[in-house]
Chain A
Amino acid sequence: MDLITGLTMLDLSRFQFAMTTIFHFFFVPLSIGLGIIVAIMETLYVIKGDDTYKRMTKFWGRIFLLSFAVGVVTGIIQEFQFGMNWSRYSRYVGDIFGPALAVEALVAFFCESTFLGLWSFGWDRFKKGVHLMFIWLTAIGSAFSALWILAANSFMQNPVGFKIDHKFGRAVLVDFPALLTNHQLWLEFPHVLFGTLLIGPFVVIGVSAFSLMRHKNEVTFFKKSIHIASFIALIGTLGILVTGDSHAYKIQEDQPMKFAAMEGIREDVGGKDKQQPWSVVSYTNPKTHDVEWSIDVPYMLSILAHHKLTGYNQGTETINKELHEKYDKKFGKDMNYYVPENTLFYAFRIMSAVAGVLGLLAAIAWWFTREKSNYDLTKYRWILWIFGLSTFIPFFGTTAGWLVTELGRYPWVVYGVLTIADAVSPNVSFASLFISNIVYFLTFTALGGVMIYLTRRVMIQGPASVDEEVDEEQIPADPFSADAFDEKGGNN
């Protein structure tokens, strides 16, 4: 432990991992979501041949490219830091975790980056249909990358398909397909995917709302954008609620401590023919782990967690005992199996509330932007302000969601297999970690700042900024004809 700061190397490594992952995950779902929206807009352009959709594709494409760039560069940190900060983890589960990461790079990253390059630079070189294929390949590539990284994460949450090799002292893979059939993956992956369908659309809705205040001559453009985005956001809300519900249902079996902390259950609650109350707010004393006060709604927990009027769940006290019985032989008696209850409790509520609020906002936005609708949105500035600020709401949801998921597997990095304390690099100095933490923080602040600044710039310039390109680009009849290329390097 460092004498001045009172922090351990483990604290700094955990903080850095949380910081880099959370920042990275601002941009990942944003670029997946925006990618899908832009792909849908270009599809509409190709089908209907209406230049409005091409303007939309290009305008929202600018913000998509920005978020993609920041997502890519913050993603490189992720791949490097397992080895840099968590070398003992990398040795212990490299046989299983490494392949998931490698396949992600081979299958997904090459695909999305190459076809994004073709999409972004190829407007005047390809037929409409071919060009459209590029953006869909980019979107599909990024969805694949989510699949594989979540397969890796699902292994950490619910390890499957492995055994312990005691001679080498590491976990080894015995069933590769099990990484993909892990039920945890099919809870996480759809949940994340629907999440991207909230984040992307709400940036479109928010930017459109702010733009409606400024660009009075572009009302049709932004109303249409909001209409498309809010429809996608409605699908996202529906999906995220259904997948979130089945996820919470399964956690009760897989990681009971996480569930008990999420719902603030200290003592066992319910039983056969007994209802379980649900806490709206509560406070758990972090030292004694007792719930000191809470406001409860009767029956609600049974309904939410069991989809019935009765049910039974263990409290953190019982679960702690059971975990000690189960794992003391392997990890020793001194393990602390309690997770930070208040953080999980409120993070879970924030996540759920965000989904509800966004669903409601999306429904309102969709209703008032129908073609039949006569409401002149530009007259209601306060509504536009609400939608404008709603751009930022989804990010609280994703962050809270990851806090629940990752803090809830404490004290393990791979649930029941390897503790966080045994995963960290032993040879990285405190000073190095301290420097990297601070510099990453400053870097992310700068990148986030520039990102917001540039998004605002794009917004102020408005759709007119892409008009020149929309008009100029002539698609050659045959993209590979002699007219399209001039071997000698002459200008056509």
Chain B
Amino acid sequence: MPSLLQNLWFLLVAVLFIGFFFLEGFDFGVGMSLKTVAKNEEEQDALISSIGPHWDGNEVWLIAGGGAMFAAIPYWYASLFSGFYLILFIILLGLIFRGVSFEFREQMYTSKYRELWATIASITSFIVPFFFGLMFADVVQGMPIDAAGDLSAGFFDYVNIFSVVAGVALALLSYMHGLNYTRLKLAESPLVERAKQQLKVLYPVLLLGEVAFAVSLYFFTDFFTTKPMITLILLVVIVGLTLLAWFTNVKDHQGWTFMALGLVIATVVALLLIGLYPRVMVADNPANSILLKNATSTPYTLKWMTIIALTVVPIVVCYQAWSFWVFRKRIQVGGDEKYGN
């Protein structure tokens, strides 16, 4: 059995990753919609302004999650990151080009180059959640891991039906989360209307995706054998929240829609991590699965990290929430809101 501190840190890493997918999820969605919803530069400007002050801070949740994993569960960090080398490499390239794209676009001189960087932002905003979904699905379905904890896998271990379904699902969720965010943050305009029309079509698609996810979860993982109750409950919650989001979207309760779909993302990530527990890496040979109780730092280090994290994280949450509150005013397409200083 993992100790209390070990469980606490598994939970904290989970919270940081869930926070990342909830917050950066809509940034990804808004990024994608630069090409799929916006029709001109003014609309792109408005979309970028809506996430401009926040996306960098949202991305730090990933950095903090990775750092917390390194500090508290280093054997997980080492096996996961080296085992998914190429996938994380693609994610890194996505994050790099996406990270500079907003700033570079803003400062470009000709509309041709501004369009180029908008396209880059759009594509990379899809790539990152897609490959994260793919990777998490691989982790829970079991990969070839040796006794030392080193993962060496082939192409079809990484790319299979389940992992592609999970990747598409996470990317789609992020996209819709972004559209909901746009509806929440932008004042009425044709852009917002297009987002609304797209969402109407996308909710049934998402439900289909969730069914596909649940079915492949049955065939590719041991979730239904080891934890049938909690898995079923969470799947029902996911579908229920999706229906709630759909319903409130039709009724135009934008705040509710946004929260409901955000919670779907959080629940999907939570479901994967709960199914993973008490392992941190699932091996195709169960004897080689890496267990939480064997993967963490020492109690001494965990104690220090607990003190620091429990002091700092609440402060961080406060000032980040404050920054959202400060910029709560709706943005006009073609308004004077500018990106950059």
Contacts and interface: CB of A to CB of B under 8 A. Distances in A.
Indicate, yes or no, whether A interacts with B.
yes
Interface of A: 58, 61-62, 65-66, 69-70, 72-74, 76-77, 79-80, 82-85, 87-88, 90-91, 94-99, 101-107, 109-111, 113-123, 125, 165, 172-174, 176, 425-429, 432, 435-436, 439, 443, 447, 450, 454, 457-458, 469, 472, 485-486, 488-491
A117 B49 CA distance: 11
Interface stretch (B100-108, B134-142, B255-263, B269-277): B100-108
Interface string B291-314: 000000110110011001100110
Contacts of A458: 107
A469 B338 contact: yes
A174 B312 contact: no
Most buried by B among A58, A172, A427: A427
21 contacts: A73-B95, A73-B97, A80-B81, A87-B78, A87-B82, A97-B70, A98-B71, A98-B297, A105-B63, A106-B308, A107-B312, A110-B319, A110-B320, A121-B339, A165-B298, A427-B83, A427-B152, A432-B85, A439-B93, A454-B107, A491-B335
B107 A101 contact: no
Per DSSP, chain A at the interface is: helix
Contacts of B100: 69-70, 73, 447, 450
Interface stretch (B198-206, B224-232, B242-250, B322-330): B322-330
Interface string B69-83: 011101101111111
Given A66-B103, A87-B150, A117-B53, A106 B312 contact: yes
Contact of A457 (B109, B301, B323): B109
Contacts of B75: 91, 94
B332 A90 contact: no
Interface string B48-72: 0100111011011011101110111
B216 to A, nearest CB: 26
Interface of B: 49, 52-54, 56-57, 59-60, 62-64, 66-68, 70-72, 74-75, 77-83, 85-86, 88-89, 92-93, 95-97, 99-100, 102-104, 107-109, 148-152, 187-188, 297-298, 300-301, 304-305, 308-309, 312-313, 316, 319-320, 323, 326-330, 332, 335-336, 338-341
B297 A110 contact: no
From A99, A122, A490, residue with most partner B Cβ within 10 Å: A99
Contacts of A123: 341
B56 A83 contact: no
Contacts, number: 245
A485 B330 CA distance: 9
Given A113-B57, A427-B151, A77 B82 contact: no
B79, B81, B301, B304, most chain A CB atoms within 10 A: B81
Across the A-B interface, give the 6 residue pairs with the lowest CB-CB distance, nearest first: A94-B74, A83-B81, A489-B330, A98-B71, A102-B67, A117-B53
Contact of A110 (B70, B316, B327, B335): B316
Contacts of B309: 102, 106
A457 B107 contact: yes
A69 B341 contact: no
A228 B104 CA distance: 28
Residue among B52, B64, B108 with most chain A CB within 10 A: B64
B97 to A, nearest CB: 8
A54 B275 CA distance: 54
Nearest to A484: B329
A80 B301 contact: no
A37 to B, nearest CB: 14
B74 A90 contact: yes
Given A72-B99, A83-B80, A113-B60, A174 B300 contact: yes
Contacts of B340: 62, 65, 120
A69 B81 contact: no
A343 to B, nearest CB: 29
